[in-house]
Amino acid sequence: MDILFANPNIFVGENILEESENLHNVDQPLRVRGCILTLVERMDEEFTKIMQNTDPHSQEYVEHLKDEAQVCAIIDRVQRYLEEKGTTEEICRIYLRRILHTYYKFDYKAHQRQLTLPEGSSKSDLDQVENEGEDSAVLMERLCKYIYAKDRTDRIRTCAILCHIYHHALHSRWYQARDLMLMSHLQDNIQHADPPVQILYNRTMVQLGICAFRQGLTKDAHNALLDIQSSGRAKELLGQGLLLRSLQERNQEQEKVERRRQVPFHLHINLELLECVYLVSAMLLEIPYMAAHESDARRRMISKQFHHQLRVGERQPLLGPPESMREHVVAASKAMKMGDWKTCHSFIINEKMNGKVWDLFPEADKVRTMLVRKIQEESLRTYLFTYSSVYDSISMETLSDMFELDLPTVHSIISKMIINEELMASLDQPTQTVVMHRTEPTAQQNLALQLAEKLGSLVENNERVFDHKQGTYGGYFRDQKDGYRKNEGYMRRGGYRQQQSQTAY
């Protein structure tokens, strides 16, 4: 690279034929057949292989990871060279290499600069802060936009879009990440992509779900994480290891191929954090829904994995204090089901859970504050669903004191429940009370309705069994038999006798 930068008259390219090479005539531009981009790509791949085959918990891994700065410096030098003399295709390829070394890194300097801005700062202030130095967001925007406009291969563009979404989600830019994912329509055809791109897509969806959770959007977080968590193969789908049962199903060659697809350890996403975010999101959605449809026999499950954890907790003969992350979430769910938000809060946010999960977020205090707020609101909804049949009316001020929410928030939550017909009640504005209408069926009435539905289904099943025993046309023959019985009297009243009298003549 030093020779190429020092001698601008030297041209290196893979499209130069051997016959047109000029290695000796100094009077004309020197032309050399070769491709420095291919050399850089091979160097980057070898660096990735070294990181994959090194013990991630050893000092050797840390020493190798320090070499990434040199790899990025070489990529930057080749990038500057290709921006002057390279083709559009080569520039897109080197830009993608630079993106792959940037997208997963959290930019602490840019984050600190944004935190120092006063509240209510305008967009021009934010742009001025970003322009003080090209942070990772500006760099990713510049590189990705060039690839979007110039690239002719779907693979490079797809990888650039996924890395861009990942970087947005990592820095809590939820709406930019979501809009870019929806506009790209990657969900429709990602199943046709090669496995490394599918792994990158899964990693991006997980980061998108965690970003939504940090913003307090529990439903979006649950939907983004549902496919990964419901499969039971999150570790394998994220390229962070192979399951034991999967190893038994593969031969040695397939296992080698799978291991080459694994991402290095410093790119891993914490699986316990991922599962905790999913289970807490499911708890905040499922518990109020279960309370609202307590006696509905045909209620659907929002999260099968969450219900599985609840059943595991119920089957334990002796319940001690929770130890694992799952046990904490199950204990918090039981407390929320009773409307006890303080106990639920103590199980979700404590020293053990902080060390395992919440302290791993960049803005841990902000996430904990959001969680407390969500637990209070969903516990209020659960309490009203569970105990609305007990009250004739209840003061909103009492609810505000019970759940430590301000009065406008309580008013807003109850109003939404009434508008959505989740709570059969009305608000008495002068007295600030919620008046229950008591139009919901009681427990005995619900049981009677369920019994009637089961009897109806039993009758239908018996009729199907009877028709099956009679044959394929059993129902038809039964209808014909009924019609014959109806016409039997008519034939006796004259039709048959008249025919007999006609034959007598």
* First-last CA distance in the chain: 123
Query: Where does the pLDDT of residue 162 fall: very low under 50, low under 70, confident under 90, or very high at 90 and above?
Result: very high
| 8-state DSSP, 300 | P
The rounded distance, in Å, linking the Cα atoms of 47 and 45 is 5
pLDDT at residue 1 is higher than 50: yes
Pick the CATH number of 388-438 from 1.25.10.10, 3.10.20.580, 3.40.640.10, 1.10.10.10: 1.10.10.10
Pairwise pLDDT comparison (328 vs 35), residue with the higher score: 328
- Maximal C-alpha separation, the chain: 132
* pLDDT tens string 89-130: 888 989 999 999 999 988 877 767 766 665 555 545 545 544
What's the pLDDT at 211?
A: 93
Domain positions in the chain are 2-109+133-215, 270-311+322-376, 388-438, 441-470, 475-505
The single-letter code of the amino acid at 406 is D
| pLDDT tens string 422-467 | 888 888 888 888 888 876 666 677 778 778 888 888 999 888 888 8
Say which DSSP state 11 is in. E
- Ordered DSSP codes for 343-392: HHHHHHSSHHHHHHTGGGSTTHHHHHHHHHHHHHHHHHHHHHHHHTTT-S
Q: Locate tokens 């301000």: which residue? A: 406
Query: How many other CB atoms sit within 10 Å of the CB of residue 197?
Result: 17
pTM: 0.80
Q: 237, 231, 234, 325: which is closest to 283 by C-alpha?
A: 325
CA-nearest of 194, 191, 200, 187 to 262 is: 200
Confidence band for 217, pLDDT divided at 50, 70 and 90: very high
Each residue of 223-261: pLDDT tens digit? 999 989 888 888 889 888 887 665 566 777 887 888 888
Residues 279-309 have pLDDT tens digits of: 999 999 999 988 888 766 667 788 888 888 8
Answer for the pair 13, 35: CB distance below 8 angstroms, yes or no: yes
The answer to whether residue 473 scores a pLDDT higher than 80 is no
Confidence of residue 492 (pLDDT cuts 50, 70, 90): very low
- On average, the pLDDT of the chain sits at 81
pLDDT of 504 reads: 42
Between CA 446 and CA 404 the distance in angstroms is 34
Structure tokens at 368: 């904990």
Closest C-alpha among 177, 180, 169 to residue 361: 169
Q: Which of 150, 154, 145, 147 is CA-nearest to residue 189?
A: 154
Q: Is the pLDDT of residue 497 over 50?
A: no
313 to each of 179, 308, 309, 328, how far by Cα in Å?
Answer: 39, 9, 6, 10
